[in-house]
Amino acid sequence: MSLLHPEEQVFAAMLDGWRNQRLARNLALSTIDGREKAVRAFARHADARPWRWTPQLLDEWFSDLRAVRHLKHSTVRAYQEAIRTFCHYITDPAYQWAVECEQRFGTHPVQVVHEWNTAMHVQDTESDPAKRAFTVDELERFFDYADEQVSRVRVAGRKGWLPAFRDATLFKIAYAYGLFSGALPACAPAIF
């Protein structure tokens, strides 16, 4: 079947098929949309369709993202993963995109994301030190400090032990339910 705008239509069909595959895997819509935006951004930057992508084009894009746009390591790695999974989809023989592209364009898509041109995730956390999660020792010191405040106020015979107890309990509940952001609450003294 001949297409009016084959390059645009085949690329759109690839993205639609990839979206359906990820929906079938029950991925969150936000994840699906974010990864598709990354693929589209790379296609715009490369000024090429997936069957013409090369690792060199990818290297140039990632260099631009880091050196010019100053994106964080985790953001660049997320973009790399988006391109990797898209290329895995379009090169999978089950979906026949290589055959389709070979017939229409005389070439086929290849995987352009490899171990040697992507960032490795080697640290437990990559966030800024001011935003990192507490270590186990820091959490223990924080909760011990909150409990000590209850005892200190109560032993002194002063009012206020009940609000101190409430605060200590709320900190533990917030942490247990994942509501603790990893930064000290404004009402907590700097104990680290």
Question: Are the CB atoms for 170 and 159 separated by under 8 Å?
Answer: no
- Burial code (b: 16+ CB inside 10 Å, e: under 16) for 88-104 equals ebbbeeeeebbebbeee
State the pTM of this model: 0.65
Mean pLDDT of 15-44: 95
Measuring CA to CA, which residue among 70, 63, 167 is closest to residue 117?
63
Question: Are the CB atoms for 12 and 20 separated by under 8 Å?
Answer: no
At 189, the pLDDT band (50, 70, 90 cuts) reads: low
pLDDT of residue 27: 92
Give the position of tokens 């700097």.
Answer: 190
Checking if the pLDDT of 185 tops 70, the result is no
Span 101-151, pLDDT tens digits:
999 999 999 999 988 877 765 555 555 666 667 778 888 898 999 999 999
CA distance 94 to 130: 46
Mean pLDDT of 164-187: 76
Per DSSP, the chain holds a count of helices (H) and strands (E) of: 7, 0
pLDDT > 70 fraction of the chain, expressed in percent and rounded? 85
pLDDT of residue 183: 53
Mean pLDDT of 152-174: 88
What dotted CATH number matches 6-123?
1.10.150
Mean pLDDT of 10-39: 95
Checking if the pLDDT of 51 tops 50, the result is yes
